[in-house]
Amino acid sequence: MANDGGGVFNRGTLNLANTIIANSTGGDCATFGLDTNVNNLIEDGSCDPTLSGNPNLGPLQDNGGPTFTQALLPGSIAIDAGSNAAIPPGITTDQRGAGFSRIVNGTVDIGAYEASPNVPPVPEPSSLFGILTLGLVAIGSLRRRRK
């Protein structure tokens, strides 16, 4: 199965915790059983995961850190759905390393990437500010023409 684009094929011991397996062309998971299966998200529901469905991942890209990652996009079912108890001792960052906490909002996300809280958008300048800016630009243009 893995030769056909599958995510995981295993005939031995397999331990998965806080793991996403998705977007496989030949099925996500074929195994003789998971020895450890804790808070995993497997898109096609194979291997009896805690969650199944679209993980809503961004493209594989530079999201900071030494390796490429796939960001959890807003609305991902993986956000805050992991198990804090399944994090190995001493792990304090996500895959990206320093500056990227492993737990945000109290519960670890499933997968290698920990989503940050949404940053509120910068508000549009008020119309009064826009008019003032336009006026200053216009005055500056008029002064240059007179010289």
Residue 106: inside a domain: yes
Give Dmax over CA atoms of the chain in angstroms. 84
pLDDT in tens, 29-57: 666 566 677 888 887 777 777 877 899 99
Instruction: Grade residue 73 by pLDDT with cuts at 50, 70 and 90.
Output: very high
Instruction: Grade residue 118 by pLDDT with cuts at 50, 70 and 90.
Output: low
Identify which has the larger pLDDT, 119 or 92: 92
Give long-range contacts, CB 8 A cutoff, 24+ apart: 117-126.
118/74
Residue 140: inside a domain: no
Residue 142: inside a domain: no
If one counts the domains in the chain, the total is 1
Q: List the domain range (segments joined by +) for residue 13.
A: 1-120
| CB distance 48 to 69 below 8 Å | no
Residue 127: inside a domain: no
pLDDT at position 103 is 96
Residue 55: inside a domain: yes
Residue 133: inside a domain: no
Q: Is the pLDDT of residue 128 over 60?
A: no
Q: Is the pLDDT of residue 13 over 70?
A: yes
pLDDT at position 50 is 80
Residue 83 and residue 130: Cα distance in Å, rounded? 48
